Structure 1
C-alpha cells in the first residue's frame, strides 16, 4: 500500500489528539496514522517471509561456524570497549575544560570530524574483511571476530556522537546541523547488527555457544543464528547502494519496504508498528509485527533495500517442508529450511510418539566430518541454522541410531527490491484514525527530499 501523502502527514501532526511530538537528536519529527485491518493480518512463516540474501549466482562463500567462549577475542573486545570509553571521557573532559566558548565549539567540531573519518575507515575495514574471507585468507571464525569488532567500535563511536551532541546543546550560541549528526548515526548503523552483537556475547561468555551461518558475495555478507529462543539474521549488500544519488524520499522508502516485505507489512502492529528515520543517504524502516521485528535500510540513491535485520521467536516459525527417517524405534524429522534459515530437528518414539532426548550431530555431504549440535531435550526438539549445501543429521540413543540426509530448500521470496509501482493488493488497507498511530516518520535534516515539518 502507499504511504500517506506528506500533506496528510503534516495535517495529522497538527492534530491535538496525537499529543506533543518532540525533537529527536535535534531533528524534526512527523507522525502519520496507519492502522492495519485485522482481517488482512496474516501469520508469517519461513515460507512467506521475504529476506534480503545473496542470489546463488553471486554467492562466493557459505559455511556454518560454531562459536563458544574464547579468551583471546574476549580480552580484545574488553580492551576495545575500555579504550573507546577512555577516549570518549578524555574528549569530553578536554571540551568541558576549554578556556572559552570558541575553543569549545572548535573541539566539538574536531571530534565529530574524527568520528566521520573513522566511519570511512570502518567501510574499508569491513570490505577488506569480506574480500579476505572470500580469498581464503580468513577463516569464518576470523571473519566473525572482525565483524564483531567493527560492530563494537561503531557502537562506541555512536555513543561518543551522542555525548558530543549533548555538549553542543549546552554550548552558548552554538549548534550542529541535525542532519549531519543523523547521517553519521545512519552511517555507523551500516556496521552494526544483532548477529554481530551476539558473536561478542558468545565469545565473552555472556551467552551459550552458538552456530552462525555465514554467506558472502564479493561485497556483501549475510549472518544468522538461533539464540535465546529466536531466529536472528542480518544482511548487508554494498552492491545495492548508489552514493552518487539521493532522490528517494522517506515516503517512497516506506512504499519500497511495503512492496518487498508484503506479509510483514500486512502483519504490522496496530500501535507504533512502523517507524521511518531518514538521514544522510539512507532511510531506516523498522516494522514491529505479530511475530517479530524487521529493520530494513533503503538507499536514497538506488531506492533498494541494502541492509536488513530480522528477529522472530522460534515458536512463531512455520515448520516448513519435512524430511523424515524411521529406524530402531525412533522417528527423526527435519523441517528443512533455506540456507542460513531456522532449521528444526525433532526426535520421537515411533510407537508412543513421545519426545526423545538424544545427542544430534550434523555433517556436510561434501565432508567426512560431523559436528555435535547438542541434544534434543525434554521436548525432543533442537533448533539450529541450516547449512547451504546437502547435509546429514545423525541421532544416537543407546544402541539405536537414525540417520537422515537432506538438502536446504530454496531461499523463500528473496527480496527483489520491487518498486512502489508494483501491485500492493496483498498488503491490506490503511485507514487513518484519531487515536492509533502506527507509523512515525523522522525526516532528519531533510536529506533525501523530505521536507522538515515544524
Structure 2
C-alpha cells in the first residue's frame, strides 16, 4: 500500500442498532470514565466513556485551563475578514490552475506545483499560528470567549479554501510523481483539519447573518473543545482538538493499514464501533505525519475522528448527535404553579429544559437561565443548550413567576 497517498476503504461491519431513548439515572451513569488504557499524562486530552452512548475526546476536569460561553451572531467585520482571506486563497488556487493548464511541459507543471505547495504551506502555517496565539491569549485572560471565537471563525473560513487548494496540488503532485510535494501538501492539509469542524461552520454562518449560535468553550494547553446546539435540526455539535496527541518523531505504527488502525479504534471507542452503521477510513499524510480519519455513523449520530499514527492517540474529533436519541437523566421540581423538567447528559454535553403548568401539565413559553446566564425561551417545547461542567442552577420564568433546580451533569 502506498503510504503517501490518501486511500479510502469502506468497511461493512456488523450492525447492532439500539432502539429507543433511555430515560432515568440508569441511562447515564457517573462521570465520564477514562477509556484509553494507555493514556499519556503529557497529553492535554483523552477519550472518556459515558454508558450507552458515544465516547468523546476531552480534557479532565482538573486539566481545563479556562471555559466559557458566548452567543455569536452577525459580525460584519469578522465576515468581511473571513471572506477576504477565503477569496485570497481561492484566487491563488485559480491562478495556480491557470498556470498549470497553460504549462507546456512537465518541467513547467512541476514548477507550478512546487511554487503552489510552498505558498499554501506558508499560509497553512500562518493560520495554525494565529489559532495557537488566540488560544494562549484566552488561557492567559488577555482575550475573552468572544474574541477567541471570532479568531477561530476567520481561521476556519480561510482554512476551508486552503484545504481545497492543497488537495488539488496533492493530486497533481502525485500524477507528476513529485513525492516530496505530495507529502507536504497532504501534511499541511491534515494540519488544517481541526479548523474545519462543525461548530466552526456554525460560527461562520452566524457571522454572515444566518442566525445566532451559543458556543461552549473549554481549553487545555494549546487544545480546544467547542460545543453548540443546532436548533434547526435538533443536533448537538462538538469538536475537540488536542495538538499534544501528535507524535511526529515516530513512524506510522499501522504501516498504512486502516484495518490495523481500526483495531485501535475499537479499543478507544468500543460503544461507537460495536454499534456502528458502517465505517469508512482513510490514511492522510506521509508516515511520520500520518493520521487516520474514521467516519462512523451510529444510532445517536455520527463520529468523525483522527487517530495519530505515531502516538496512537486521538488528536481531532468531531461529533454530531441527535438530541432526541441521547440517553438522559431526568430531574424535576415544582414551585409557584410551574413545573420545571431538566434532562441532563454530562458536563459539556446537552441539557434539555422544559416548563409546564403544574396544574394542567400544559407546556409553557418560559425564559430559561443556566447559572444566571440567559439561554433562550422554551417556546412551549424543550429548550436544549450545552451544560457547563459541575452543578448548575436552572431557572425558568413565566408570567412573573420562577422555578429553579440544581442540575448535576456528569
Fold equivalence (TM over 0.5)? yes
2:156 is aligned with 1:148? no
For 1:83-122, list aligned pairs within 5 A: 83-98=88-103, 100-122=105-127
Q: What is the alpha-carbon distance in structure 1 between the residues aligned to residue 21 and residue 362 of structure 2?
A: 28
Name the CA shift for 1:68/1:314 in 2 (closer, same or farther; >3 Å). same
2:37 is aligned with 1:35? no
2:255 is aligned with 1:252? no
Partner in structure 2 of residue 212 of structure 1: 215
Partner in structure 1 of residue 75 of structure 2: 70
Partner in structure 2 of residue 194 of structure 1: 198
Highest RCO, 1 vs 2 (Cα 8 Å, sep ≥ 6):
1
> Contact 1:42 / 1:267 at 8 angstroms: preserved in 2?
no
Q: Find 2:144's aligned residue among 136, 139, 145.
A: 139
- Give 3-state SS (helix, strand or coil) of 2:406's partner: strand
Q: What is the alpha-carbon distance in structure 2 between the residues aligned to residue 27 and residue 396 of structure 1?
A: 54
For 1:272-421, list aligned pairs within 5 A: 273-280=278-285, 281-320=290-329, 322-363=330-371, 370-379=372-381, 381-409=382-410
Q: What is the alpha-carbon distance in structure 2 between the residues aligned to residue 330 and residue 41 of structure 1?
A: 32
Q: What is the alpha-carbon distance in structure 2 between the residues aligned to residue 123 and residue 310 of structure 1?
A: 22
Give 1:180 deviation, angstroms.
Answer: 5.0
Q: What is the alpha-carbon distance in structure 2 between the residues aligned to residue 37 and residue 143 of structure 1?
A: 40
List gaps (5 residues or longer) in structure 2. Answer: 29-49
Q: What is the alpha-carbon distance in structure 2 between the residues aligned to residue 27 and residue 245 of structure 1?
A: 19
Q: Which protein shows a greater Rg?
A: 1
Q: Find 1:130's aligned residue among 135, 145, 163.
A: 135
Question: What is the TM-score of this pair, normalised by structure 2?
Answer: 0.83
> Contact 2:8 / 2:280 at 8 angstroms: preserved in 1?
no
Q: What is the alpha-carbon distance in structure 2 between the residues aligned to residue 60 and residue 26 of structure 1?
A: 37
Q: What is the alpha-carbon distance in structure 1 between the residues aligned to residue 249 and residue 263 of structure 2?
A: 22
Give 1:140 deviation, angstroms.
Answer: 0.6
Q: What is the alpha-carbon distance in structure 2 between the residues aligned to residue 217 and residue 149 of structure 1?
A: 21
Partner in structure 1 of residue 44 of structure 2: none
Give 1:131 deviation, angstroms.
Answer: 0.9
Give 1:188 deviation, angstroms.
Answer: 2.2
- Give 3-state SS (helix, strand or coil) of 2:84's partner: helix
Name the CA shift for 1:375/1:189 in 2 (closer, same or farther; >3 Å). same
Question: What is the TM-score of this pair, normalised by structure 1?
Answer: 0.75
Q: What is the alpha-carbon distance in structure 2 between the residues aligned to residue 391 and residue 158 of structure 1?
A: 40
- Give 3-state SS (helix, strand or coil) of 1:190's partner: helix
Give 1:373 deviation, angstroms.
Answer: 1.5
> Contact 1:62 / 1:213 at 8 angstroms: preserved in 2?
yes
Q: What is the alpha-carbon distance in structure 1 between the residues aligned to residue 129 and residue 352 of structure 2?
A: 37
Name the CA shift for 1:96/1:255 in 2 (closer, same or farther; >3 Å). same
Give 1:37 deviation, angstroms.
Answer: 4.9
> Contact 2:394 / 2:405 at 8 angstroms: preserved in 1?
yes
List gaps (5 residues or longer) in structure 1. Answer: 1-9, 11-22, 364-369, 410-454
> Contact 1:43 / 1:290 at 8 angstroms: preserved in 2?
no
Partner in structure 1 of residue 31 of structure 2: none
Q: What is the alpha-carbon distance in structure 2 between the residues aligned to residue 389 and residue 204 of structure 1?
A: 33
- Give 3-state SS (helix, strand or coil) of 1:191's partner: helix
Give 1:71 deviation, angstroms.
Answer: 1.8
Name the CA shift for 1:135/1:80 in 2 (closer, same or farther; >3 Å). same
Give 1:70 deviation, angstroms.
Answer: 1.6
Give 1:298 deviation, angstroms.
Answer: 0.9
Q: How large is the Cα RMSD of the aligned pairs? A: 2.7
Name the CA shift for 1:135/1:334 in 2 (closer, same or farther; >3 Å). same
> Contact 2:7 / 2:282 at 8 angstroms: preserved in 1?
no
Partner in structure 1 of residue 269 of structure 2: 261
> Contact 1:256 / 1:304 at 8 angstroms: preserved in 2?
no
> Contact 1:41 / 1:266 at 8 angstroms: preserved in 2?
no
> Contact 1:53 / 1:235 at 8 angstroms: preserved in 2?
yes
> Contact 2:12 / 2:279 at 8 angstroms: preserved in 1?
no
2:165 is aligned with 1:157? no
Q: What is the alpha-carbon distance in structure 2 between the residues aligned to residue 52 and residue 218 of structure 1?
A: 14
Name the CA shift for 1:200/1:37 in 2 (closer, same or farther; >3 Å). closer
Deviations 1:298-318 (A, max 9, x none): 111111112111101111112
Q: What is the alpha-carbon distance in structure 1 between the residues aligned to residue 9 and residue 296 of structure 2?
A: 17
Give 1:147 deviation, angstroms.
Answer: 1.6
Name the CA shift for 1:27/1:133 in 2 (closer, same or farther; >3 Å). closer
